[in-house]
Structure 1
Amino acid sequence: MSVLTTSVAFLLHLASSAAAPLPCEKRVVRLEAEIQGLKNVVSEQHRYILELQSSQSQQLQRIPNTYLDPQNLYRDCSEVFADGNVASGLYVIRPDGSPMALSVYCDMNNGGGWTVFQRRKDGKETFDRSWAEYSQGFGDSFSPDGEFWLGNEPLHLLTSQGNYDLHINTEDFEGNQRFAEYKNFRVDNEKDQYQVHVGEYSGTAGDALADARSVNANSPCKGGIKFSTFDHPGYQEADADSQRCIRYSRSGWWFCRCGSGDVHGQHFKGPFEAMSDDGVAWYIWHGWSYAIRSVVMMVRAADLRDPAPGVEQWTAQLQANMVADGAAHPRYDQ
């Protein structure tokens, strides 16, 4: 009996000795896998940073040196276009009163001369920003598909130079494209909390900024719509409702009745992932809960001069070449 007991004890000891390292080995394997995963993340982020730096360097190299002379800067993309530049891309401008030059994307489609001041494409850039960030601008304005906000202060300086039109391109998740255009677009200075002014509407997307035009007698924003952020609410309704709209949409915007035309809402990966009106919204087209896919906003001088002689022919030839290469820009006027 003692021999049997001793044998059993010996076997149990062997079993426990053999089994003990297994959990440790599994833990080591798991940790090594986690380390490798973290290395992959770091490597991917490093690759993305290098690509971004390379892209920005290439874009900056395309800016003609003559544009960098403070004495030879255009005031906006309308002047860039009127001077014979018909290719969409980065240009340097300096609006009246601006303390510095601005690198902006000029869209030469739809008649040319449009200064792009906002772009939403894929949700890579958060628009849940502070008052200071919205004032000075943020995001990637160097890449053709980068998301950004040019800034309330530059937008005020731009639109204070004269009479400007606002053009908004929108696209849903089915590839349908609509546009909205407004006359007499202007943004006041910071003292007036960047209050927005818009005039007559035209387009195919619907008038989602009707409250800003003061055409609705029942609008809570008949006194004008001031810009709002989570740290600087300027919304006209009750304070509690103001905070609700800003907190709900997680963005800065000219809020009136929350998300009626809030193109700075959360970017979702599908049309109906939004919780009511907290997505990128243009409610009069798709309703409150449909988060549209992309939005691009731009301004142009209403009194845009005719381009330099021959520009019309250059533009037609350029567009023909783009069509032939299969790289024509999409149209938003259908």
Structure 2
Amino acid sequence: MFSTLAVTILIYNLAVNEGSFVYLINDENDQLKPAEPETTIEELTTVKEVTFNETTTRTLSVTNDSALPIVEETFPNTVKFTNFTTEKGTLGAQCEDVTGCEDSLFCIHNTCQCAGEDFWKEDACVHVTKYTINSKCRNSFECSGKLLCLDGICQCSEEFIWNGTNCITKKIFGMQCYSQKECQDDLFCVAGICSCPDTYYLDKNKCVRRKDAKQECSKTEECQPSLSCFRQLCQCPSSDFWNGSICTLRKTFNSTCNSYPECKESLECKEDICQCRETDYWDGSYCVIKKSPGMTCSEQFECRNELHCLDDLCNCPDTEFLEEFKCLPKKVENSVCQTTAECKDTMKCRHGKCKCTDLEYWDSDFEQCFLKKELGGVCSSSIECQENLECDDDDTCVCKSSTYWNGMNCAKKLPSECEDIDSDKDGVYSVYPKGKSYSRRISVYCIMMGEKKWTVIQRRYDGSVDFYRTLPEYTKGFGRVDKEHWLGLENIYRISKDGSHELSVVLEDWGGFKREANYSTFYIGSGSSYSSGIGGYSGNAGNSLGYQSGYTFYTYDRDYNYCANKNTGAWWYRTSGQCCLSNLNGKYNGTGQTGIVWSSFRNYYSLKASTMMIRRK
């Protein structure tokens, strides 16, 4: 007896009226019975296997001999069922053999098709007589052989030709031909051979039109006749131009033209005429560069633009200069220039401007330079006078205030202070302070600050010089002017006695911090007192010197109020009240009021450095 086995049978690609079935094999009568529920399946794909729960696989074969499925063989043999109803495939349906197709159709390459030259009409394959070339047709099935129904006419496709009985393949390059239509597309029948005409070349078995001028190329064969492949472009020879179809000889001077390439090399097409460029002229054979200034010429057109052919030379007129190929009027005084040639008359280009020479002056009325006038000459302004002369109120050229007439010329007066020194560098200079004569020369240290030139009268910074000295020493001065020093009361008096000087005091503490006290008025009196005149304070050090303005300069050997001895210094001490608020000539690194003191800056703490300097306002 068979044991009870569960069998699943899937039937595909059939329209099964009975649906899909799950059957059990009964071990008593070996009958297959359907299980519940039933499920209808339509148009499934074919699977012809039955799988038992004992993992044994058997092939299923199906027939439609009877109305109900009947088991003809049982496990373990092949299980066979009959009486299933199926639908056969129509035109174009998939099939495995002819039984899967409708009547008149054949299973060809797994597809239901009409056989041979039969064609499908309505619902069946029909055999008719095929039409020949140029016959009317409704579809390609009606046409014989390899003819196709194109635009309702039986004819060969583009890649075939009609040989009288059938469509045959067109001939390839090099094959014999009698007419153009025998050759493949893009080929021509030339001298009985399928080939390319002169304006085409063969590329990958096809005739490709040769390229025109200026189109990219890799070899000359690709270019139109008369063109050459040069630098990967189809080009005419340099003597020719491309007229749109061939290379033509370029046109010469004064010939009519439509575009630049038509003209001979060096010519260009301007106003429909082949002409030289503006920078060139025609010498009878070629365009040559127009001539520069100084070159020989016979005609005006040979010279560069704006030049003139003067005395057989290309040049600008005397009243003009050459700039960017143009002759321009020469420039007047103070005009911006790059070269002297741009300037009018005898002027020179100095520091980027047109200027008269040092011996001349500019007359704006006449717009020219005139020689400067000598001593005693009539003038309207000082610029008309020679060097060191100026025009006075009587309209006469006289020596400047800083010079004097020595019988031959205006000699420069000797400097009385640093303000008169013509230099911009700090250092030691010789000056001649104003006095009864200029015979006494002294050395001073000058600090040059642009337009302000200062004469140092006191400097301390390292304690190398003892400032606790007598009145004669302070009157004459002591120390080296390039180091620590006091210039001398008499020298300070002679420099500042006109009352038009200012004083600047620069202070520095031991921490490197600096302060300034500036006074717009400073002078000292004459005689033995050398009293001070100080006023107009400004700065950031505080006004600790104004307190002593108007007082006598005291030293320890002339000390009526004992302030010089008390403060170990020499200064303009007061005779009443507190001796001083400043004591810059005190003891270096002293204590209290005895040191280098400026009370409004660090109180009575002795400073590291001080500098006193004066200048004419």
Counterpart residue number, 2:464: 124
Q: 1:227 aligns with which of 550, 553, 559?
A: 553
Residue type at the aligned position of 2:542:
G
Classify 1:297/1:208 alpha carbon distance in 2 versus 1 (closer, same or farther; 3 Å): same
- What TM-score do the two structures reach when normalised by structure 2? 0.32
Residue type at the aligned position of 2:516:
F
Partners of 1:175 and 1:253 lie apart in 2 by: 25
Partners of 1:99 and 1:155 lie apart in 2 by: 17
SS in 1 for 2:419: helix
Counterpart residue number, 1:276: 592
Over the residues paired in the alignment, what is the CA RMSD in angstroms? 1.8
1:181-202 alpha-carbon deviations (Å, 9 max, x no partner)? 10120100124x0000011100
Cα shift at 1:101: 0.7
Asked if 1:149 is matched to 2:493, the reply is no
**Mapping for residues 129-278 of structure 1, pairs under 5 Å:** 129-141=469-481, 143=482, 146-191=483-528, 193-213=529-549, 224-233=550-559, 239=560, 242-243=561-562, 245-256=563-574, 257-268=578-589, 274-278=590-594
Partners of 2:579 and 2:534 lie apart in 1 by: 18
Cα shift at 1:168: 0.5
Assess if the C-alpha contact under 8 Å between 2:419 and 2:453 holds in 1.
yes
Counterpart residue number, 1:41: none
**Mapping for residues 307-326 of structure 1, pairs under 5 Å:** none
Cα shift at 1:252: 1.2
SS in 1 for 2:541: coil
Partners of 1:92 and 1:275 lie apart in 2 by: 37
Partners of 1:279 and 1:110 lie apart in 2 by: 33
1:151-196 alpha-carbon deviations (Å, 9 max, x no partner)? 00000000014500000100000000000010120100124x0000
1:15-66 alpha-carbon deviations (Å, 9 max, x no partner)? xxxxxxxxxxxxxxxxxxxxxxxxxxxxxxxxxxxxxxxxxxxxxxxxxxxx
Cα shift at 1:291: 0.4
- What TM-score do the two structures reach when normalised by structure 1? 0.58
SS in 2 for 1:285: coil
Asked if 1:77 is matched to 2:418, the reply is yes
Counterpart residue number, 1:105: 445
Counterpart residue number, 2:154: none
Higher RCO (CA 8 Å, separation ≥ 6 residues): 1
Counterpart residue number, 2:613: 298
Assess if the C-alpha contact under 8 Å between 2:547 and 2:580 holds in 1.
no
Partners of 1:278 and 1:267 lie apart in 2 by: 9
Cα shift at 1:279: 0.5
Cα shift at 1:112: 2.7
1:125-174 alpha-carbon deviations (Å, 9 max, x no partner)? 00111110000000111x3xx11000000000000145000001000000
1:203-233 alpha-carbon deviations (Å, 9 max, x no partner)? 01000012234xxxxxxxxxx2100011122
1:267-324 alpha-carbon deviations (Å, 9 max, x no partner)? 11xxxxx432110000011112x0010000000001xxxxxxxxxxxxxxxxxxxxxx
Cα shift at 1:111: 4.6
Partners of 2:615 and 2:412 lie apart in 1 by: 22
Q: 1:94 aligns with which of 428, 432, 447?
A: 432
SS in 2 for 1:277: helix
Counterpart residue number, 1:12: none
SS in 2 for 1:206: coil
Counterpart residue number, 1:310: none
**Mapping for residues 47-62 of structure 1, pairs under 5 Å:** none
Cα shift at 1:247: 1.1
Partners of 1:137 and 1:131 lie apart in 2 by: 10
Q: What 5-or-longer segments of structure 2 have no aligned partner?
A: 1-410
Residue type at the aligned position of 2:611:
V
Runs of 4+ in 1 over 3 A off after TM superposition: none
Partners of 2:519 and 2:487 lie apart in 1 by: 19
More helix by share: 1
Cα shift at 1:259: 4.0
Larger radius of gyration: 2
More strand by share: 2
Assess if the C-alpha contact under 8 Å between 1:114 and 1:300 holds in 2.
yes
Partners of 1:258 and 1:110 lie apart in 2 by: 37
Counterpart residue number, 1:49: none
1:76-108 alpha-carbon deviations (Å, 9 max, x no partner)? 11111xx3x100101110011065011101100
Assess if the C-alpha contact under 8 Å between 1:259 and 1:281 holds in 2.
no
Partners of 1:297 and 1:246 lie apart in 2 by: 19
Counterpart residue number, 1:236: none
Cα shift at 1:249: 2.0
Assess if the C-alpha contact under 8 Å between 1:113 and 1:300 holds in 2.
yes
SS in 1 for 2:554: coil
Q: What 5-or-longer segments of structure 1 have no aligned partner?
A: 1-69, 214-223, 234-238, 269-273, 303-334
Cα shift at 1:71: 7.0
Residue type at the aligned position of 1:229:
T
Partners of 1:110 and 1:197 lie apart in 2 by: 27
Assess if the C-alpha contact under 8 Å between 2:499 and 2:521 holds in 1.
no
Counterpart residue number, 1:216: none
Assess if the C-alpha contact under 8 Å between 2:548 and 2:573 holds in 1.
no
Percentage identity across paired residues of the two chains: 32
